[in-house]
Structure 1
């Protein structure tokens, strides 16, 4: 059974690609057809790639490794932040800072500064400052939180990246490729699949589609790290869809079987109720009854008349 049902993918619009004039020919193996000038992705293929990504995430997270979630486009920001936080992974949801991976010395200093400001605020140090100095530090803290707050707990390089829209996050892709860090990514019809190690063909513009893919990766992490799935897991929903489908199929099959049995039971009864008419024998010809003799009085009268 597939980890994600076709119903889930269809409901989230995962199959909708970009207009046919805006596509990357390298994505042709993942495209099913085109409709009204829009490329339609092959969801059967998408379900197989989801299985591959799930297995890979289970493997590396089971080894204690880290996946960095990356999605800075408006449609992806909330889903990336919420799902990464849910599964305890670092994330970048506002802006990719150049050198985040390749210039670790500079980034490490910024992260240390962020941690320092967080501690000072928590300890009440900000309250001892003048209003001007406090506002200055609060502004600095706000900028750091916005840009690198999601990677404040990241020590060293991540072991893999999960990216929403490789065209938007081109700098993240380049840095990961340079360092040999594996990339998991949603691939819309205008993307280059050669840049991605673990592909998720799907719509990278629709909010519901992005949320679904983020949940797939996050739930895979939670399953590997904690050994359980949250009640709202997309994998549990897929199982429920499968069970419902089987019940529907079973119900239709039962109705069909009952109908066939009823028809078989009615046929003999119909035969008994209306048997074929048997050939009727010809009625025997009855002998003609002799003429009735006249009464004695009448006979005497007739004889007298004859004598006269």
Structure 2
């Protein structure tokens, strides 16, 4: 029987682990893949206090090094289910081994949302991508489309503009949701062209992406442009299928201000929970609060 199990190795999970160990809890952090979360794929992070500019992977390596330096146990293990049983929480793992804990923090993050259009799945990895940091080098002197108008979309359009011949910024509205700093940078790049009030209808190709079908929302007219790559940034979907607690219509876990879910002893932190802001700084804050409240819960139960 462990005191606390943390599921997820992103900013929320690592922050929770650091606080939990400092509280003296018997803690384990489980991560199916690699430590870091979504932010690890960001080329540049400029809004985390203490770092005017830092690579996302580099930032998360500092998180990991801190956690390891104070003895946070991190295991490469996937969790497939979480269920309450009597006065404990039972976790099912992908090794068909159950783990028991007095409390659990869900910090499983989120994944890029898909458009659900023809060709998106067909050409994934063959011209369709959700990560410019990962794939931008493959598009040197080529033409690409970036779909979306938020910070991630504009940040990755800027990354692509450093290598691509042309970047078409496709946005369904007539103004961006991204910060003014990023918008001004994008507007200053000669090879970024904004296609306002436009949606991507279909990705076409043979073995790889060759063209994109676009629809003008004002005229409803369709147009097809030759393209080599499509990068999609239209939001995130939470990784919350493993747990049955109260969620919103999009699957984000609903918590109170103490990160408590609808099930006693289960907490949620970071991008997997319903929040007005999904950022590294808020995820770390969530993790710290969740660990503190889990400690109080475990202590009060004796």
TM-score for the superposition, normalised by structure 1: 0.26
- The structure with more helix, counted as a fraction of residues: 1
- The structure with more strand, counted as a fraction of residues: 2
